[in-house]
Amino acid sequence: MRAKDSSSDTKGLTVESVAVSLGGSRVLHDVDLAINPGETVGLIGPNGAGKTTLLRAVLGLIPTDTGTLRANGRPGYVPQKHEFTWDFPITIAAAVLNARTATRWLGAPTRTDREAAAEAIERVGLAELARRPVGELSGGQRQRVLVARALARRPALLLLDEPFTGVDVPTQELLVELLAQLATEGTAILMTTHDLAQAQSTCSRICLLNRTVIADGPPEALADPDLWLRAFGVATSEQLTSILSPKGART
């Protein structure tokens, strides 16, 4: 089954009993998750846990074996930086505008398209650089472009895949503030991350995922070390600390 859009759904995202297989192997099973408008949920788990797979299933990029996915409108998506072709000869302004027009067969950008793109560029602090080619940008600036592309769609649901990985401190601070603003405005946010400290300070909920949901709740409700040991498939707190440390964390 594929993800279904439902603009009338009161939830930002509803995932019910979802299973996904890739290459003949079951990657996710019995996944249940609901995100209300205004909630920011951090999706945390080990490499290979199915975090990015779940995002792509929500986007309808890969099919589900069982279960249902209901998103409130078409989600905005912030992929990891390596998924964008940065050597393509295009400016920031054009790259962000393209996020609104790429799926159309015909027709020039509308006034609404241009306004939405300009607003998104302003929100990520790149207005003064809008005419700069994307190939000349720093890592932090590139991440801001990806966020702006997602925001240009004015989504009710925002999906982010490792948004804090490999970016400078100013960009991290901007993203934290921006996500808080979007949540206040009613956007439902789901992001994968290996940055536990950032997730605990940024997210209203944390979902521990390892092929299925191990635990889901406010950060303060997930204090039991056993939940984290189960989620990361390790036996001791020392092993878990090594995995979650900045040196041990991998994308």
Say if residue 147 is in the same domain as residue 167.
Answer: no
Q: Are residues 167 and 52 in the same domain?
A: yes
Phi/psi at 229 (5° precision): -60, -40
Identify whether 216 is part of a domain. yes
Do 2 and 64 belong to one domain?
A: yes
Nearest to 200 by CA among 141, 155, 244: 244
Other Cβ atoms within 10 Å of 58 Cβ, number: 23
Domain that holds residue 223: 1-75+155-251
Residues 46 and 126 in one domain: no
* 170 and 47 share one domain: yes
- 170 shares a domain with 63: yes
What is the rounded distance in angstroms from the CA atom of residue 48 to the CA atom of residue 50?
A: 5
Choose the final residue of a domain: 106, 135, 154. Answer: 154
Q: What is the CATH number of the domain that holds 50?
A: 3.40.50.300
Would 94 be classed as within a structural domain?
Answer: yes
Are 213 and 67 in contact, with CB atoms under 8 Å apart?
no
pLDDT at 239 over 80: no
Which residue in the block uniquely carries the two structure tokens 């759904």? 9
Assess whether 113 and 39 both reside in one domain. Answer: no
| Alpha-carbon span 161 to 158, nearest angstrom | 10
Cα dihedral sign for 115, 121, 122, 128? negative
DSSP state for residue 235 in the 8-state scheme: S
Using CA atoms, how far apart are residues 167 and 141, in angstroms rounded to an integer?
A: 8
Mark which of 154, 172, 204 sits at the end of a domain: 154
- Which of these three, 103, 121, 154, is where a domain ends? 154
- Tell me the average pLDDT across 44-63: 94
Same-domain pairing of 163 and 65: yes
pLDDT band at 185 (very low <50, low <70, confident <90, very high): very high
Question: Could you tell me if 166 and 205 lie in one domain?
Answer: yes
pLDDT in tens, 202-236: 999 999 999 999 999 999 999 888 888 888 877 66
**What number of other Cβ atoms are within 10 A of residue 76's Cβ?**
25
Indicate if 161 and 149 belong to the same structural domain: no
- Looking at the domain assignment, is residue 80 inside a domain? no
- Mean pLDDT in the chain? 88
Which helix H or strand E contains 41, and what residues bound it?
strand 40-44
Beta-strand relationship, 66-71 and 13-22: antiparallel
Same domain, 123 and 70: no
β 4-5/66-71 pair status: parallel
Closest of 187, 143, 165 to residue 40, by C-alpha = 187
Q: Which pLDDT value is given to residue 249? A: 43
Average the pLDDT over each of 90-104, 182-196, 208-222 and give the range with the smallest value.
90-104
Query: What total of structural domains would you count in the chain?
Result: 2
Shared-domain flag, residues 143 and 168: no
Give the pLDDT band of residue 246 (cuts 50, 70, 90).
Answer: low
